[in-house]
Amino acid sequence: MRAEVLSIGTELLLGQIVDTNAAWLAGRLADLGIDLHHVSTVGDNLGRATEVISRALDRSDLVVATGGLGPTEDDLTREAIAAALGETPGVDPALERALRDWFAGRGLTMPERNRKQAWLIPSARALANPLGTAPGWLVRARGRTLVAMPGVPREMTRMWEAEVEPGLRAATAIRSRTLKLLGIGESAVEEALADLVRSTAPTVATYAKSDGVHVRVTDRDADIAARDGRISSMEARIRERIGEHVWGADDETLGTVIGQRLVARGWRIAAAEAFTGGEIARALSDADTEGWFAGGVVLPGASADALVAAVASLNAQVVVLAPHSDGKAVVSVRTPEREERSPLRYTSAAEARRRGMLAALDLVRKLV
């Protein structure tokens, strides 16, 4: 399946907002094993938007558009899709009732210009948007599929996850398993898995992410048992080679994994940070921290001794330290059983914060 992403909105071309939607969708399509061949941006101009949509439908099996579904005159995505397909939009009574109810529930009268958000064309069905007033469209025409979603990221991501992706996943009979690693770089992972990366069933791909390196195993087969068996077999081969670096899988977060281990030990953890600026505490607190995260302090420029003193009252058995030490970045973790340190190399303060956070959490997962 060949896919194309269209970002619609003049504000994107003017640099007034950054197009995070396209990058997010690219990742989701990759997870589905759908090949993304093109990403295009077009302004709020009916002629140019129609041209871009027509070209996308000519060359791609799946077209995903975001933006231009608002109620104003310059929101032209519906008009452009209708023009590209030669269809005439009309107000869907059920959608109009839902829109009027949405406004009434907030003590408001719906402006008449919002009626265009209740439009449909014959080849489209509406995609629910409980977070806003703009329903999406799922269009099937010419043997192609076109999805139109709002440009507001939180509305778009919810619509994709709840209304679009489940159907694509079922249609492609595809499944992915993602292993998450720390303490090893992407190039070293690729070297260790060189022959596996060349596999075609399942495929194996590596990605550098904010929480380490991800290794994604993807396969597609109408025979679900056969597909899942191949994925499990490949995962076992990967773990045989680099399993000591695997800290989690799929939707697991570092905070969740570390928290589970701390709870099992009956320990609490505290973070005392100088050069990492609170990044360690932020990563730890991305999960339900009740009972195991004692808290954190940020003291720019503080030494290790000063940081230890700052968290002494938090009653934590595990202390993560990221002190300032003569311009050198060093993180350490102290538990009731031992202490380990990890020096870092970096080229900027931002890199030091990121690498320091990852190194510290890697030590924590090894020690608890």
* CATH fold of the domain at 175-249: Alpha-Beta Plaits (3.30.70)
- In this prediction, residue 325 carries a pLDDT of 64
Query: 227 with 162: CB under 8 angstroms?
Result: no
pLDDT at residue 101, as a whole number = 93
Angle at alpha carbon of residue 95, lines to 93 and 101, rounded to 5°: 100
What is the pLDDT at residue 222?
83
Q: What is the mean pLDDT of the chain?
A: 93
Lowest-confidence region among 85-94, 95-104, 310-319, 322-331:
322-331
Confidence at residue 221, expressed as pLDDT on a 0 to 100 scale:
87
Mean pLDDT of 249-273: 92
Q: What's residue 327's pLDDT?
A: 59
* pLDDT at site 206: 92
What's the angle, vertex CA 339, arms to CA 338 and CA 343, rounded to 5? 155
Is pLDDT above 80 for 286? no
**Region 52-67 average pLDDT:** 97
What confidence tens digit (pLDDT) does each residue in 179-236 have? Answer: 999 989 999 999 999 999 999 889 999 988 878 899 999 998 888 899 999 999 999 9
Q: What is the pLDDT of residues 262-282, one digit of tens each?
A: 999 999 999 999 999 999 999
pLDDT at 4 over 70: yes
Architecture of domain 2-172: 3-Layer(aba) Sandwich (3.40)
Report whether 268 contacts 294 (CB < 8 A).
Answer: yes
Distance CA 226, CA 214 (A): 24
Q: Who contacts 213 (Cβ-Cβ below 8 Å, separation ≥6)?
A: 180, 181, 182, 184, 185, 186, 189, 206, 207, 245
Query: DSSP assignment of 54-99, as one string?
Result: HHHHHH-SEEEEES--SSSTT--HHHHHHHHHT---EE-HHHHHHH
Flag whether pLDDT at 238 surpasses 90.
Answer: yes
Tens digit of each residue's pLDDT (9 = 90 or more) over 120-146: 999 999 999 999 999 999 999 999 999
The reported pLDDT for the residue numbered 328 is 72
Q: Which residues contact 345 (CB under 8 A, 6 or more apart)?
A: 355
pLDDT band at 173 (very low <50, low <70, confident <90, very high): confident
Alpha carbon distance 5, 22 (integer Å):
7
At the topology level, CATH places domain 254-367 in Maf protein (3.90.950)
Does pLDDT of 178 surpass 90? yes
C-alpha to C-alpha distance for 269 and 40, rounded to whole angstroms: 46
Q: Domain residue spans in the chain?
A: 2-172, 175-249, 254-367
**pLDDT, tens digit, 9 for 90 and up, residues 12-50:** 999 999 999 999 999 899 878 788 999 999 999 999 999
Return the pLDDT at 176. Answer: 87
Tokens 């996308």 locate to 56
CB 151 within 8 A of CB 327: no
Q: Are 279 and 329 in contact (CB under 8 A)?
A: no
pLDDT tens across 297-342, in order?
999 989 989 999 999 999 999 999 999 866 578 899 999 999 999 9
| pLDDT attached to residue 326 | 61
